[in-house]
Structure 1
Amino acid sequence: MAEDPYKVLGVPRDATPEAIKRAYRKLARQNHPDLNPGKPEAEARFKAASAANAILSDPETRARFDRGEIDAEGQEAAPAGGWRRHADAAQGHRYEPFTDAGVFEDLFADMFAARQAAESAPRPGRDESYRLRVPFLSAMLGATEELVLPDGRRLSVRIPPGVTTGQSLRLRGQGGPGRNGGPAGNAVIELEVEDHPFLRRGGQDLHMDLPVTLREAVLGGAVTVPAPGGALRVTLPPASDTGRQIRLRGKGVPAQGGKPAGDLLLTLRVVVGRPDAALEAFLRDWQPEHLEDPRRGMEAAP
């Protein structure tokens, strides 16, 4: 059952025709479906305001409602001007009480102003995506690399230590230009870390295959290791076979983002090279006290 039209429009029962017209225009502007797409509650308020205005805007219909001859829907024995007649009218003629030229002008003015405001509002520029190849050591230790954009601009990109392939950096204000005074967009830079000739990364640790001579492997001693942060002197233990691993704590990927510094793990690789005549003669005459078979346990399975 429809509500009291006076209550719907929010006016007292002795309201003047001008007050009723103003109240209806206000509700119509606020709740018209064109200004509230996808909001069924606004459309329902618009329909109720149109029905209430159909009764109260006509002096005769209003008088009959006030006398109780018709209800809030305009229902009576004789034809009435209730909202149902308008809601059930043919397409193109629904809610015909909303034909006041002033209301239409106000609505169109509001819609045009809203569209104009949206078009003239400041808008940020688009983010633009780029890809930057980063040398391995720059990615491990941090550095500043240069990125050349398609328009010829050159950006200095600060690479934090410990970045990995696939991570992105955002440079504010280096993307597409803004509109109507809006800020420029951002440059989103995806990083691709290049391979290193003898270093590999595993989490926070770095791995290196370290070539050593036969003499160094047998006798041990100090060797120089080309570590990421600079050359290191490392003492090899005697009798170090190929595959032996030495861990240098804290010499891997630097600490960052709450992660501790990683380690540098050296895996020894004995390199015989081209032996000289003296070594060959020694090995031919050498009779080890304890001969070991390095292939023991590798016999073919039956």
Structure 2
Amino acid sequence: MQFKDYYQTLGVARDATADEIKKAFRKLARKYHPDISKEADAELRMKEVNEANAVLSDTEKRAAYDQLGRGYQPGQDFRPPPDWDAGFEFTGQGYSPREAADFSDFFAELFGRMGGTHAGARPTHAGFRAQGEDHHAKVLLDLEDAFSGATRQIALRVPQMNAQGRVQLAIRTLNVKIPKGVRAGQVIRLAGQGAPGMGGSPAGDLLLEVQFKPHPRFRVDGRDLHLNLPVAPWEAALGAIVAVDLPHGSVKVRIPKGAQSGRQLRVRGHGIPGQPPGDLLLDLQVVLPPADTPKARELYETMAHELAFDPRHQGRA
């Protein structure tokens, strides 16, 4: 996928005001609208102009795009980093995947789910009374919080338009209670922290979609935890009981006699807490000690002589 420079498409500077973007779009729309344009590629150019305008005329999308696009050139190979939109507070539902399909793959990848599936406008009632719109944000938590629960201070970036018509980011800080057993994809609802209501109606809610920060040891799959577990050759050959440190506490695991690298052990109930809890899945990796001392080299030479073992001929007739 190639990076798209929407500012270049509209022919405006990156610090262009909202009015400058609107004027540029109208000028290009008159030039490339298929009903009136004589340009050979009018339909394609109009589609590109519409896509650029859909992003740059929207305060939230523009702020997110600006944050993501720094350092990229038009046509450069591009893949958005995981959770690139975490920490942005969005309003509304954004574009559904079907709606986003009317634009490029680049647009669909970035904005097809922006705003979340849980956000949306509240119904309007008679007399211009309406409960406020829900807001949505993705937040990254430490895996450890899922084991013990916690109260965390979370800072959200809120895109706004300043008096000069340029996008700026305000910071909103909230103290959020993280429930024990929270899992990736779960939504924490903060009542009344969304948009204000109209006509005295209640404010909307703020919906925080939970994702976990990359962990140096564990990989999360639902409530299950995956871990590569190094074992010594004698532990794998003879069997052993080893302690495995978890994000909260530890567990003793039996290594079966004759275990090989790549074997997976399942320790039930030691994943993320819940009803039921997840499991701990251990992928064994047999690690050889280095032959970096005379004694270690002597032991290896003894094994080579006494065991008569050739791994390249195991299992052959």
TM-score (norm 1): 0.50
| Alignment partner of 1:195 is 2:214 | yes
Which among 143, 147, 153 is matched to residue 136 of structure 1? 143
Structure 2 residue 271 is the aligned partner of structure 1 residue 252: yes
3-state DSSP of counterpart to 2:312: coil
CA distance in 1, matches of 2:303, 2:212: 49
Q: Which amino acid aligns with 1:245?
A: Q
* TM-superposed deviation, 1:242: 1.9
Unaligned stretches of 5+ residues in structure 1: 1-116
Among 227, 243, 263, the residue aligned to 2:246: 227
* Shift in CA distance, 200/225, structure 1 to aligned 2, threshold 3 Å: same
1:284 lines up with 2:301 in the alignment: yes
Distance 1:239 1:288 in 2: 20
- Give 3-state SS (helix, strand or coil) of 1:176's partner: coil
Instruction: Work out whether 1:263 is the aligned partner of 2:282.
Output: no
What is aligned with 1:6?
none
> Do the aligned residues in 2 keep the contact of 1:210 with 1:268 (CA within 8 Å)?
yes
**Contact 2:183–2:272 (8 Å) recurs in 1:** no
> Which residue, out of 293, 303, 310, partners 1:293?
310
Which residues in structure 2 correspond to 1:1-302 (within 5 Å)?
A: 118-119=126-127, 121-139=128-146, 142-149=149-156, 150=158, 152-256=171-275, 260-275=276-291, 276-287=293-304, 291-296=308-313
Q: Which whole-Å CA distance do the structure 1 matches of 2:246 and 2:207 have between them?
A: 32
Report the alpha carbon displacement of residue 254 of structure 1 after superposing the two structures with TM: 1.7
8 Å contact from structure 1 (residues 131, 192) kept in 2: yes
Q: 1:286 to 1:271 in 2, by over 3 A?
A: closer
Change (3 A) 1:286 1:202: same
Provide closer, same or farther for how the CA distance between residues 131 and 203 of structure 1 changes in structure 2, counting only shifts above 3 A: closer
Judged with a 3 Å threshold, the aligned counterparts in structure 2 of structure 1 residues 264 and 165 are, in CA distance, closer, same or farther, namely closer
Residue identity opposite 1:261 in structure 2: P
CA contact (8 A) 1:141 1:253 kept: no
Q: Distance in 2 between matches of 1:129 and 1:262?
A: 27
Shift of 1:173: 0.5
1:296 to 1:164, Cα distance in 2 relative to 1, 3 A: farther
**Aligned counterparts of 1:199 and 1:265: Cα–Cα separation in 2:** 10
User: CA deviation digits over 1:154-204, x for unaligned, max 9?
Assistant: 322233344444433221111122233221111122222222222123344
CA distance in structure 1 between the aligned counterparts of 2:193 and 2:274, rounded to whole angstroms: 29
Moved more, 281-290 or 240-249: 281-290
Instruction: Kindly indicate whether structure 1 or structure 2 has the higher relative contact order, using CA contacts under 8 Å at least 6 residues apart.
Output: 2
Q: Is the 8 A contact 2:146 2:272 kept in 1?
A: no
* Partner Cα separation in structure 2 for residue 192 and residue 202 of structure 1: 11
In structure 1, C-alpha distance between the alignment counterparts of 2:283 and 2:126, rounded to whole Å: 64
CA RMSD of aligned residues (A): 3.1
* C-alpha separation in 2, matches of 1:198 and 1:298: 34
Q: Contact conserved, 1:212 with 1:271, CA < 8 A, in 2?
A: yes
What is the distance in 2 between the residues matched to 1:274 and 1:297? Answer: 24
SS, match of residue 295 in structure 1: helix
| C-alpha spacing 1:154/1:286, structure 2 compared with 1 (3 Å) | closer
1:51 counterpart residue number = none
- Name the CA distance, whole Å, in 2 between partners of 1:215 and 1:132: 44
CA distance in 1, matches of 2:305, 2:181: 49
Structure with the greater alpha carbon radius of gyration:
1
Distance 1:167 1:271, change over 3 A: same
Contact 1:221/1:235 (8 A) holds in 2: yes
Q: 1:140 to 1:200 in 2, by over 3 A?
A: farther
In 2, Cα distance between equivalents of 1:289 and 1:221: 23
- The percentage of aligned residue pairs carrying the same residue is 40
